[in-house]
Amino acid sequence: MALRSKFDPELQGLSKNFRLTKCTGLHGGGCKVPREVLQKLLEDFGQSQYKEEHFMGGMIMPRLGIGMDTCVIPLRFGGLSLLQTTDFFYPLVDDPYMMGKIACANVLSDMYAMGVIECDNMLMLLGVSSKLSETERDVVVPLMIRGFKDCADVAGTSITGGQTVLNPWCLIGGVGTSVCQPNEFIMPDNAVPGDVLVLTKPLGTQVACVAHQWLDQAADKWNRIKLIINEEECEKSYHDAMFIMSRLNRTAAQLMHRYGSHGATDITGFGILGHAQNLVKQQRNEVNFIIHNLPCINKMAAVAKACGAMFGLLQGTSAETSGGLLICMQREEAAKYCTEIKKIDGHQAWIIGIVEKGDRTARIIDKPRIIEVETLDDGTVQSIPPVTTTRRSSQIKPQITTPLKQPRLETSEPVSAHMDQAVSSAPSQEIPITTVTSVHDGEVAELTQIDGTVQLLQCGDQFQQQQAVGQVQYQQ
């Protein structure tokens, strides 16, 4: 996939100082009303009326209303359901064409989170900023519309109407509608203990866009991060974020059917933790979601950390725009899913957490593993290979709250095929680590031991187990 060159306003007949993001005071998914406030505001709609299945026309029809990505309304005829969503936000990138594509992809992601592959119709919502001059309006608005339409064309849908108004701030979004048979969508409520959580896009889009604005404006806040990320790296992270946000989750939705998704949501304005909490509340079973790993656009975790509580990226509360799908599925199927999506699209997906028995809460562990991610020259999104060193286990002081009294490695048993629990053991000065290696491309999928359970951190292709006897691989 060829990447689009940087937007140059002068080539479009605009002032070199023109910035689309100056036409708004809020940006992207960061414009959302806080999740807790929104839930209180929506109480009068009576969300519970949509949570139960309904008997219509001799069939049991699922129904879903306010609270998740897409409403599911049984139609009166033919055992069909109407799935519909709407979304809009303010510009967070300065390229109007890319902003249109991002807005369209963001609307469609709500449908894809339900496993809907075909969107039957779209409407476009457009607010033209009253701050734009006539020349700026005549250049910027057609570019935004073209980007929105081009993305809809790639998705195989069409735009048949909408609404355009003048507004102090520029905004763009739309409505997506699909009429589906029962097997064409997946209700987001069937997670079971033992499932894992898969994420299809990296986090950090808001951080990348804000950091780029600081760089562009030579703001004082740039001084806070310039020792962490240089100008070239900041430009690339921003560029990567634009293409990640404009990418459709359509393949991810297709594969949800093939590999038996138990439910999904897309990651947008509430951050990964907020959307994980929304999803876990919908589950029929009493489960918890535990997130161990956070794939992030390269350098964005360090930037967010340097900015204190400003973003909340490591806490899972940083807003995302047109983010990936967070999917619950069986552990074995998740590895196959990640392999397949990489084979089809070239983009990597990650297993980031587990589903366990609980009380319908979601959390991120205290020190999640950060997976640095970048977009390569061919447009594919991949993890940056970690720098690893092999050390003698006697040199490592593992942080274990209770002593482990275990038999020697030579007699240890292999990790089970499902990788649910480490049964191998060692003397207290040695820690047995099992690595899982991708047969296809040699990519190592690392394991971590948490509360006595070995968890898969990153999925590759087809897996084989290897015992690391007497040595431990640690990431620096």
Of 454, 116, 63, 419, whose CA–CA distance to 261 is shortest?
Answer: 116
Both structure tokens of 44: 């009068």
Residue of 31, 296, 307, 459 marked catalytic: 31
CA distance 115 to 250: 9
- Exposed e or buried b per residue across 273-282, where buried means at least 16 C-beta atoms within 10 angstroms of its C-beta: bbbbbbbbeb
**Per DSSP, what are the bridge partners of residue 121?**
177
φ, ψ of residue 425 to 5 degrees: the values are -150, 170
CA distance 89 to 115: 23
CA distance 258 to 339: 13
φ, ψ of residue 225 to 5 degrees: the values are -120, -5
Radius of gyration of the chain (CA): 23
- Exposed e or buried b per residue across 42-58, where buried means at least 16 C-beta atoms within 10 angstroms of its C-beta: eeeeeeeebeeeeeeee
**Burial bucket for residue 466 (CB in 10 Å: 0-12, 13-18, 19+):** exposed
Phi-psi label, residue 56: left if phi above 0, alpha if psi -120 to 50, beta otherwise: beta
Block residue for tokens 């990651």: 267
Both structure tokens of 40: 């209180």
CA distance 84 to 179: 9
Contact 436, 444 (CB under 8 A): yes
List % helix, strand, coil for the chain (3-state, nearest 5).
30, 30, 40
Catalytic status, residue 119:
no
CA distance 150 to 333: 33
Q: What is the DSSP letter of 389?
A: E
Of 194, 370, 186, 352, whose CA–CA distance to 288 is shortest?
Answer: 194
Of 43, 45, 20, whose CA–CA distance to 131 is shortest?
Answer: 20
What is the separation of C-alpha 212 from the centre of its chain, rounded to a whole number of angstroms?
21
Catalytic sites, residue numbers: 31
